[in-house]
Amino acid sequence: MKTIEKLQRMLETASGNPLDIHLVLYRDFISQSETPEQVLRVILEYSSEIGNSEDDSPTLITEDEAFEYYFEYFELVNATLKTIIDKNLSVEDFYKKLYTNVFKLDLLPQDEKGQAVLLYLLSSKKIQGLPYYQATDLLEMDEELYKEIINRIEDKISLGVYMLDRKFKSKTEEISQLWKLASKLESREEQIVFWSVIIGIIRKFERGENEVSDLE
């Protein structure tokens, strides 16, 4: 517990170069801990910037060294993280698996500087998916039932698309109308299908694939 408290204080007060700080975090906390996955979790769940990004002069590791690690291992770390996330483990098991598969994997650098860069990659939000949250209370549904429910609530979906086409003064006004439509549906399954269609429409629109009104 004292180690975690000391770590949290360091995260809150560290003001130097981020690469240097991550090397210290790895050297003094992760590598020294009997439960390194817990230390890793505290670091990756820290919501503020670690260190000062305006300090671009690391002293413990050169930028060339960091870039070499970054260039060589970024894709592997990213793919490893995605594979672990897809398992939908508990939070505790996720960080155990992440520590083992990143910091103990022979394919990734095992020297102190290399491990520090791996930690920096994970905590600097350069890789998506962290901090991790387990998806719970998932609803599985076959395609036939999904389409059946869409047909059943087609009027509400059409109204939802209409609301997406409307020009409201604020996002909260728009979402309040969608929420009202969803809340009037009879079951959790119908509400989830409604939001599934609406979110799918928004994502396609954001990618520029279609106009909203064409996506019913």
Same domain, 17 and 101: yes
Residue 216 has pLDDT above 80, yes or no: no
Task: Evaluate whether residue 128 is within a structural domain.
Answer: no
Which parts of 39-191 are beta strand (E)? none
Please state which of the ranges 8-17, 30-39, 119-128 shows the lowest mean pLDDT: 119-128
Please state which of the ranges 32-46, 66-80, 145-159, 202-216 shows the lowest mean pLDDT: 202-216
- What pLDDT, on the 0 to 100 scale, is given for residue 211? 54
Same domain, 94 and 165: no
Same domain, 57 and 92: yes
- What pLDDT, on the 0 to 100 scale, is given for residue 126? 78
Task: Evaluate whether residue 54 is within a structural domain.
Answer: yes
Write down the mean pLDDT value for the chain. 92
Whether 194 contacts 153, CB under 8 Å: yes
Residue 209 has pLDDT above 80, yes or no: no
Instruction: Give the pair of three-digit tokens for residue 74.
Output: 């970024």
Question: Which among 92, 123, 154 is the end of a domain?
Answer: 123
Domains in the chain, number: 2
Cα separation, 56 vs 27, in Å, equals 21
Domain extent, residue 117, equals 2-123
Same domain, 103 and 160: no
Over residues 87-123, the pLDDT tens digits come to: 999 999 999 999 999 999 999 999 999 999 999 999 9
Cα separation, 116 vs 37, in Å, equals 15
Which of 102, 115, 20, 122 has the alpha carbon at shortest distance from 10?
Answer: 20
Tell me the pLDDT band of 127, cut-offs 50, 70 and 90: confident
- What pLDDT, on the 0 to 100 scale, is given for residue 131? 94
Residue 25 carries which side chain, given as an amino acid letter?
A: L
Alpha carbon 178 to chain centroid, angstroms: 25
Task: Evaluate whether residue 196 is within a structural domain.
Answer: yes
Task: Evaluate whether residue 137 is within a structural domain.
Answer: no
Task: Evaluate whether residue 133 is within a structural domain.
Answer: no
Task: Evaluate whether residue 135 is within a structural domain.
Answer: no
Task: Evaluate whether residue 130 is within a structural domain.
Answer: no
Whether 85 contacts 129, CB under 8 Å: yes
